[in-house]
Structure 1
Amino acid sequence: MSDVYVVEPLLPQRLRRPSDLLRFFVTLIVLVAVGLLALVAKQTLVGLEADVKEGAELVPLLSRIAAFLGGAAVLIVPAAFAVERVFHRDGLRVAEGLIAAIVGMAGSFLLGQWLVAGNADDLRLLLTGDRRIEPLNTLLTSVVAYATAVRISRRPTWRMLMWTTIALYILAFFSGRQITLPSAIITVLVGMAIGYATLYGVGSPNTRPPGSAVVAALRKLSFPVVSARRVEDDYQGSRRYAIGLKDGTSLDVTVLDRDRQVAGLPYRLWRRIRLNSETRRKAIRSLRAELEREALMAYAAQAAGASTPRLLGTSEIGTEAALLAYEHIETRPLDEVPDEQIDDALLAQIWEQVELLRIQRLAHRRLTGDSIHLDRAGRVVLTDARSGEIAAGDLLLRLDIAQLLTYLALRVGAERSVRAAAAVLGPEALAAAMPLLQRIALTRETRAALAKNKHLLAGLREQIVALKPQVKVEEVRLERFRPRTLVTIIASTLAAYVVLSQLSRVDIYRVVTTANWAWSGVALLASFVSFVAAALMLRGFVPEPLPLWRTVLVQFASSFVKLVAPAAVGGVAINTRYLQKRGIPPASAMASVGASQLIMLVFHIALLLLFAYITGSTQTTTFTPSRGLVVVLLLVAVLVVVVLGVPPLRKLVTSRMRKLFSNVLPRLLDVLQSPRKMVEACTGTLMITIAFVLCLDACVAAFGGSISFTAVAVVYLTANAIGSAAPTPGGLGAVELALAGGLTVAGVPAELATSAVLLHRLLTFWLPVLPGWASFTYLQRHEAL
């Protein structure tokens, strides 16, 4: 058979492989982790060095042999590998290794000089053991960089020989006290990082098989190829070819390249970690596993009777690629079909195809406009089988329905999309998929399209509820965590560090033994009064009757929830849930809590201005704001101006505030119609602030501090505002810093201020946790939460 000319662009001779970049970043992460762990476990490493030294002195001959073999072999083995590669006409790989070795030697030398010059003394002591040795062994760094850059890991015999010699070299230098264990490990990791960075920087030889190799593999499968043309890559970046056969038919060939298997890995890992979708696919897939999974899904879809391109053959192309050959069907994607041409018959066809897959427990996982095609006769054809899963669980099948519902609603509207789906699947299937109508559950393209139609998901839910109004739908949590959870965790870690650093400056025993217990009792009583005041405030903003002591228990329960939620979030959620359980509609419950928060904010600002005025007029000599405080206030003012002046930011803030306070005004009007409720609301709101200020004032007095009540009020109100904005549970860290700093500015000695703040937080934040947990459990058991 004659040769076939393949129409394709010239393949680049060198490629920057995503796998090299990924390995570089992973090595950096391990390097940082090892450095931090070594800094923490310094004493253990010192003991280990002493043990090795003692062992080397017991067997001096063995140490000398290891030193001789390691020192010689660490140079001989790389040279031998280079000679072997040159004989096989692979000298370019050796050149890459030499570049990495030079960069490694220069980099380790410069880094060592930087450390010796007195920068990062802790790290220098860790790497040198306070001895006159190199922080990083330059020879070892260059050898490891060389071995990494020449990809010696792909040659099992050479890999074992190389790492054995490196281990002997490290052992010899370690027993001779010329290198420390942390230095050895970090040197190896630095060398690997430099090697991978070199590979990615200069690129690697392109080992992807060209189109001629694809044609040869197809001929081995008995396909008489007469023409071949490369077409646009698929959505995962895999190459695709249009193949013409001798009998006039055609094939669509997808080529899976090994070096593309890690492409998109960070996004897949992020989705796997964040999304709870019960998928059994691995984020990192081998070439063979990817070939088998796509082929299995294609055969399963054919057996289910779905209209999909028929898989005619599969084959590996050497060791670097594999192919899948599908029958060619002249189609066009649904994305190219105008919206007005998508009639009810076409919608029914699409859902019928999905139902065929669903009956056989097959999840497509990518029902979008580029995977749903129409042939010349207008029949629906589903493509992109590689995204799917066989023997799929209920969640994946429901995710398919939610995805297709949303995509079609973007094209034809929510009402037609739901009506067409219900006609094929039935209302029960749509009701089961309704909890999954969440942005996180959809494909990246669909999420982007929803940005222009933010109310579409709500419209879909309304249409489904109209079909099945009596259905009881259980909430499905798809997100394992939200990005704001990461912010909270990081901020909480920093806050814990702040609190621990404050504790380290205070003698806890002296604090406990020297505190005035009478004032401590007053502070404890004030802390309890704050919970009663919070209950009165909530009762005042709810026209419906609420039992006082059960509402007090709800406030204690909110103190327990504050351990896992920011200060401004936990109380709102608990109170809203409590009101809903009391039979108050969700909108009214949210409006009542929103009204209480709004009035609390008004009172907070008014009291802050009042106490600040009183303090400024009577104690200007003892409470003069520092220059730093003035700068902070100016920065806050500038931030407010920027937020209100930039339209996108202003829109974001106003939309959030509108959601929180949308029904607040009608609720406030209801409260104003009852003078008793109005008095109860204002009394409770005022009592909360006074109780907390009194608690802080009593804590200061418990340690002998002397400061005016108004100054304490200004400090507390300012710190409370900062704590409410902090993304940490209960404002942890931010409140302590603000309170201690404010008291210090007000004239309280720093150590006394820290002691008073810690006692105040103990009484108002930590001590109520146990009764809060008991209240939370009690209220849940009695279905009050």
Structure 2
Amino acid sequence: MTDIKERDGAGCPTGGLSGGEPSGDSSRPHPDPSSEASGPPDTGTADSSDFQDSLDSQDSGDSRKSADSREPDVLVVEPLLPQRLRRPSDALRFLATLLSLTVVVLLSLVAKQTLNGLEADVEEGAARAPDLLISVSTFLGGALVLAIPVAFAVERVFHRDGLRVAEGLIAAIVGMVVSFFVGEWLIATGPGDIRQLLTGGRPDVEPLNTLLTSVIAYVTAVRISRRPTWRAVMWTAVALNVFALYTGTNITLPGAIVTILLGMAVGYATLYSVGSPNTRPPGSAVVASLRRLGHSPIKARRIEDDAQGSRRYAVVLTDGHRLDVTVLDRDRQVAGLLYRLWRRMRLNSETRRRAIRSLRAELEREAVMAYAAQAAGVSTPPLRATSEIGTEAALLAYDHIATRALEDIPDEEIDDELLSRIWTQVQLLQAHRLAHRRLTGETIHLDASGQVVLVDARSGEIAAGDLLLRLDIAQLLTYLALRVGAERSVRAAAAILGPDAVAAALPLLQRIALARQTRSALAKHKDLLSAIRDHIVQLEPQVEVEEVRLERFRLSTLLAIIGGAFAAYYLLTGLGRVNVVEVVKGAHWGWTGAAFAAAGITYLAAALLLMGFVPEKLPLGRTVLAQFAGSFVKLVAPAAVSGVAINTRYLQKRGIPPGQAVASVGASQLVQLVFHVLLLLFFAYITGSSTAPTFTPSRGLLVALLAVALVVLAALGIAPLRRVVVKRTRSLFSGVVPRLLDVLQSPRKILQACSGTLLLTISFVACLDASLRAFGGELNFAAVAVVFLAGNAIGSAAPTPGGLGAVEASLIVGLTLSRVPPEVATSAVLLFRLLTFWLPVLPGWASFTYLQRREAL
């Protein structure tokens, strides 16, 4: 056999490799030649020697046959595979262990009383147990937990696998050091609750058992879990040792669990840091597998990895044909796992994919999809062979077709004929209910004659449902629109698939439904999806669009839940500082009634405000009911969104065109914002003047105003921020100026709008002022106005429903800074929110239902 040394484009050394004997590959890791040679094969491990044993055991006669027939040597050109690599699975296990550790500590802190009772029961039971039993269990537990790791180390050294033992010793040392310093920190300055949890309050108990941490770190780093017999014996010894320590009151139950989890975390961190032996089969193993499948390769070369990170080889056969071989490596199965888990949680079941799939399942999925596409007449590279390579990899061999990816073709070369050929291939997939799921420029290719070839169907689905088929259309419509424009993309699709099929994809034109690369490209074309929708509607004006909810939840919903949880915690904490019974007994019910009346007036004022910005005539009664309905919607939407949505819908149902309805609501919001700022400045000025000596602006208020000014200056002065602000406000206030000009032509509308805006703010301030006086608080009306206006602005910006939590916190802080006692401020704010947020929910629901039945909402 002749070895040929070369260097690839990156300067990596490559070697000529013999396909007859995979062990002769100079580019693969070189374990000790006698590794595992004198003992039974270690099928539970995942090192290089294990891979070689499994590969040789598949067909030990093939190499003899190859030598006898004197098959020619095969040159495999590829970079040297690294001896060791960091496995993503080790990093994920480390993160999962840390998460489990955090959960255990938090649950233990919550169930502190239960654990204390359990500790007392154990102490009482241990006192009654025979001394001989305790002594025997203590001796066996301590002896076995040390003897088994030593025996495993001797067995590994005997099989020339001392490197694995060295890794375990490194992990054991690190585990001992980490355990010691964490324990000393907990004893000296750590949180008292955690110290009590891990020691049970006994001064002679270590928070973490140093020996047990080291042993667990060692057995994790040497991957003893992959050896079933050793695993069972080892964990039996650990359980016996924990039992002995627990009954001897030398460790607590949470301390034992935390010790084990910490040891596992150290072990996985060590594995990821130092790396693991590379078990990926080299090119010679791929060649050997192809020979067993009946092919006769004469040379092979590693080419660029595919889009999903799998290795690819170009293999030339004796008859001149070429195969494109894709190798699926087991250690790549967890690549991108966190992203897939997030998508799986966020998307509905019909659109999500399995986050973790076995090597066999991945092989079968791609093979079945390739055969189904060939049977459907789709132009794809024919799949010629599939095979597992040992236990750590599998291959798929396709006929080679010389192609160019669509993403490498200039936009000007994509003519209507090419678009038609692309959609024709997709039509074949749709007719046979095959979903490709990755129709992008990377997977759409053109051969030498200009014919379209679809590749990389690993993510595809056979017998796909309507939703997946429509998602394919939406994805390809968007990608092609990025290349040739929305109008040409829609027109080409409709010419092949028909207008109905294109219109069916209309509800799925959502960013979340598209491929990751397409979503990234859309960041520079914000209005593209809207343009595609408009062209589809022009194509099929009578289409009935049924909304499709692909997401289980949106990020805004998640933020609202988190914010609501913090708000609930804050409110409960505030209530804990107030004696509710004494406060209620001492409340002045006359002022409470005044606060209730002021809260009711706010709905009349909001109705007058809206009517003032609509040139058309609106009935006062139903407009007031619409404002009550908005109070019901506040339970599920931020305060700044719920009112806009309800009022816009109400105006549309009154026959006002959507554009004018949005403009009217936007005009009311804009004028309300202007009034809000002016009133805040006006009342802030009054509070600092000599006419209101009971309240002077505090240093905190001045700092807050300066901070707001800096935020405004940053938003206006920094170009990226300015673009974001302009874009967010443009959609709301587009068409506002013409609508304001219509309103300015009627003096009655101007008076109605201004009086409604002023009455709305004054009513809210009066409600807060009356709530404060109901509990004996005394504060200047202007100071109350400043507190309300500032708190309401913060609440409107908060993502929680109705500004829940943010409004309460800001109002309480504002009143407290105004020298109102904290318990009075808390009581007043809770009464204010009860009257303006919680009590209107029931009449709001009744109004919402009534208006919907009358088709007024």
Structure 2 residue 161 is the aligned partner of structure 1 residue 82: no
Per mean C-alpha deviation after superposition, the further-off stretch among 540-549 and 19-28 is 540-549
Distance 1:281 1:709 in 2: 59
How far off is 1:620 after superposition?
5.7
Structure 2 residue 271 is the aligned partner of structure 1 residue 199: yes
Percent identity between the two aligned chains: 72
Alignment correspondent of 1:35: 105
SS of residue paired to 1:315: strand
Map residues 608-757 of structure 1 onto 2, 5 A cutoff.
608-618=680-690, 621-757=693-829
Alignment correspondent of 1:415: 487
Alignment correspondent of 1:483: 555
- Which one of 186, 190, 193 corresponds to residue 115 of structure 1? 186
Alignment correspondent of 2:25: none
Question: 1:719·1:738 contact (CA, 8 Å) conserved in 2?
Answer: yes
How far off is 1:624 after superposition?
2.4
Structure 2 residue 423 is the aligned partner of structure 1 residue 351: yes
Question: 2:629·2:844 contact (CA, 8 Å) conserved in 1?
Answer: yes
Distance 1:404 1:164, change over 3 A: same
Alignment correspondent of 1:547: 619
Alignment correspondent of 2:164: 93
Structure 2 residues without counterparts, runs of 5 or longer:
1-70
Deviations 1:688-733 (A, max 9, x none): 1111111111111111122221221111111111111222222222
Map residues 515-664 of structure 1 onto 2, 5 A cutoff.
515-618=587-690, 621-664=693-736
Distance 2:686 2:522 in 1: 53
SS of residue paired to 2:672: helix
Alignment correspondent of 2:138: 67
Question: 2:687·2:693 contact (CA, 8 Å) conserved in 1?
Answer: no
Alignment correspondent of 1:461: 533
Code of the aligned partner of 1:7 = V
Alignment correspondent of 1:424: 496
What's the TM-score once normalised by structure 1's chain length?
0.98
Map residues 126-275 of structure 1 onto 2, 5 A cutoff.
126-132=197-203, 133-275=205-347
Code of the aligned partner of 1:215 = V
Per mean C-alpha deviation after superposition, the further-off stretch among 91-100 and 331-340 is 331-340
Question: 2:692·2:780 contact (CA, 8 Å) conserved in 1?
Answer: no
Distance 1:432 1:84, change over 3 A: same
Code of the aligned partner of 1:728 = T
Question: 1:553·1:775 contact (CA, 8 Å) conserved in 2?
Answer: yes
How far off is 1:323 after superposition?
0.6
Per mean C-alpha deviation after superposition, the further-off stretch among 234-243 and 583-592 is 583-592
- Which one of 318, 323, 328 corresponds to residue 400 of structure 2? 328
How far off is 1:270 after superposition?
2.0
SS of residue paired to 1:387: coil
- Which one of 158, 173, 186 corresponds to residue 102 of structure 1? 173
Structure 2 residue 49 is the aligned partner of structure 1 residue 49: no
Question: 2:686·2:692 contact (CA, 8 Å) conserved in 1?
Answer: no
Distance 1:15 1:452 in 2: 37
How far off is 1:619 after superposition?
5.4
Deviations 1:435-456 (A, max 9, x none): 2222222212222222333222
Code of the aligned partner of 1:40 = V
Question: 1:726·1:734 contact (CA, 8 Å) conserved in 2?
Answer: yes
Question: 1:623·1:745 contact (CA, 8 Å) conserved in 2?
Answer: no
Code of the aligned partner of 2:171 = A
Distance 2:420 2:216 in 1: 61
Structure 2 residue 98 is the aligned partner of structure 1 residue 18: no
Distance 1:384 1:203 in 2: 30
- Which one of 477, 502, 512 corresponds to residue 405 of structure 1? 477
Distance 1:484 1:190, change over 3 A: same
Code of the aligned partner of 1:326 = Y
Distance 1:776 1:200 in 2: 57
Distance 1:276 1:496 in 2: 29
Code of the aligned partner of 1:374 = L
Structure 2 residue 493 is the aligned partner of structure 1 residue 493: no
Per mean C-alpha deviation after superposition, the further-off stretch among 442-451 and 157-166 is 442-451
How far off is 1:778 after superposition?
2.6
Alignment correspondent of 2:78: 8
Code of the aligned partner of 1:33 = V
Structure 1 residues without counterparts, runs of 5 or longer:
none
Code of the aligned partner of 1:417 = S
Distance 1:278 1:121 in 2: 48
Per mean C-alpha deviation after superposition, the further-off stretch among 54-63 and 334-343 is 54-63
Alignment correspondent of 2:41: none
SS of residue paired to 1:643: helix
Alignment correspondent of 1:779: 851
SS of residue paired to 2:458: helix
Question: 2:694·2:780 contact (CA, 8 Å) conserved in 1?
Answer: no
Map residues 263-412 of structure 1 onto 2, 5 A cutoff.
263-276=335-348, 278-279=350-351, 281-412=353-484
Question: 2:383·2:397 contact (CA, 8 Å) conserved in 1?
Answer: yes
Question: 1:42·1:126 contact (CA, 8 Å) conserved in 2?
Answer: yes
Distance 2:854 2:260 in 1: 60
SS of residue paired to 1:618: coil
Deviations 1:118-137 (A, max 9, x none): 22111111111111211111
SS of residue paired to 1:157: helix
How far off is 1:477 after superposition?
2.5
Per mean C-alpha deviation after superposition, the further-off stretch among 244-253 and 404-413 is 404-413
Per mean C-alpha deviation after superposition, the further-off stretch among 697-706 and 12-21 is 697-706
SS of residue paired to 1:254: strand
Q: How many residues align?
A: 785
Distance 1:782 1:79, change over 3 A: farther
Question: 1:625·1:745 contact (CA, 8 Å) conserved in 2?
Answer: no
Code of the aligned partner of 2:124 = E
Question: 1:622·1:746 contact (CA, 8 Å) conserved in 2?
Answer: no
Code of the aligned partner of 1:486 = L
Code of the aligned partner of 1:104 = G
Question: 1:96·1:199 contact (CA, 8 Å) conserved in 2?
Answer: yes
What's the TM-score once normalised by structure 2's chain length?
0.90
Code of the aligned partner of 2:177 = A
Question: 2:446·2:452 contact (CA, 8 Å) conserved in 1?
Answer: yes
Code of the aligned partner of 1:105 = M
Deviations 1:55-94 (A, max 9, x none): 3333334433322221111111111111111111111111
SS of residue paired to 2:106: helix
Question: 2:481·2:488 contact (CA, 8 Å) conserved in 1?
Answer: yes
Code of the aligned partner of 2:98 = L
Distance 1:531 1:621 in 2: 33
Question: 1:556·1:768 contact (CA, 8 Å) conserved in 2?
Answer: yes
Distance 1:666 1:280, change over 3 A: closer
How far off is 1:277 after superposition?
6.4
